[in-house]
Structure formats: structure tokens, C-alpha cells
Amino acid sequence: MDGNNDVTWDDLNRYQNPIAVTVFWCNTSTGVVVEADLINNRNFVWASDGWDGSYDVQNIDTHEFGHFLVL
């Protein structure tokens, strides 16, 4: 937790190597989300143009933004 809501790429081996994760922190006394980070796995091939053999960043991050919204 660094006080910023981030969308970034990182090595996600520590999370058993998923495509992407959303991590968020809550104030335990109020239940208010104070920060949320969306992290895409840099160990995968990404594209936004439908390139075969890649993960579509728009599709994956739309799913992850649902987690940002706690859906």
C-alpha cells in the first residue's frame, strides 16, 4: 500500500502466476476501500489489437476493474 491506485505490470509468481490480480485495502473500522491496485502479469504476452497468442489487455482489465468496484 503506497497511497496510490495503480494499474501496472509486475511478476505475479508470488500469487501462483495468474493473468492479473486486483489487490485492495480497506479501513477495518469503516469498511471503506482506501486503495486498489490492478496488476497485470508481465510474464504473459499482452496486446490490445487482437494479436493471436496474446492476452487482450482491454478484456482482462475490464474484468479486473469489476474487482476494483467490488462487484
Mind listing the pLDDT tens digit for each residue in 23-61? Answer: 989 999 998 889 999 999 999 999 999 999 999 999 999
β-pairing verdict for 46-47 and 55-56: parallel
Maximum separation of any 2 CA atoms in the chain, in Å: 47
pTM of the full predicted structure? 0.86
What pLDDT, on the 0 to 100 scale, is given for residue 47?
97
Model confidence at 67: pLDDT above 90: no
Q: How far apart are CA 66 and CA 44, in angstroms?
A: 21
Q: Decide if 1 is inside a domain.
A: no
Question: Is 24:35 a contact under the CB 8 Å cutoff?
Answer: yes
Q: Decide if 46 is inside a domain.
A: yes
What pLDDT, on the 0 to 100 scale, is given for residue 68?
81
What pLDDT, on the 0 to 100 scale, is given for residue 69?
82
What pLDDT, on the 0 to 100 scale, is given for residue 5?
94
Q: Decide if 50 is inside a domain.
A: yes
Structural domains counted in the chain: 1
Q: Decide if 2 is inside a domain.
A: no
Question: Is 68:27 a contact under the CB 8 Å cutoff?
Answer: no
Q: Which domain, by its residues, includes 27?
A: 7-68
Q: Decide if 40 is inside a domain.
A: yes
Q: Decide if 58 is inside a domain.
A: yes
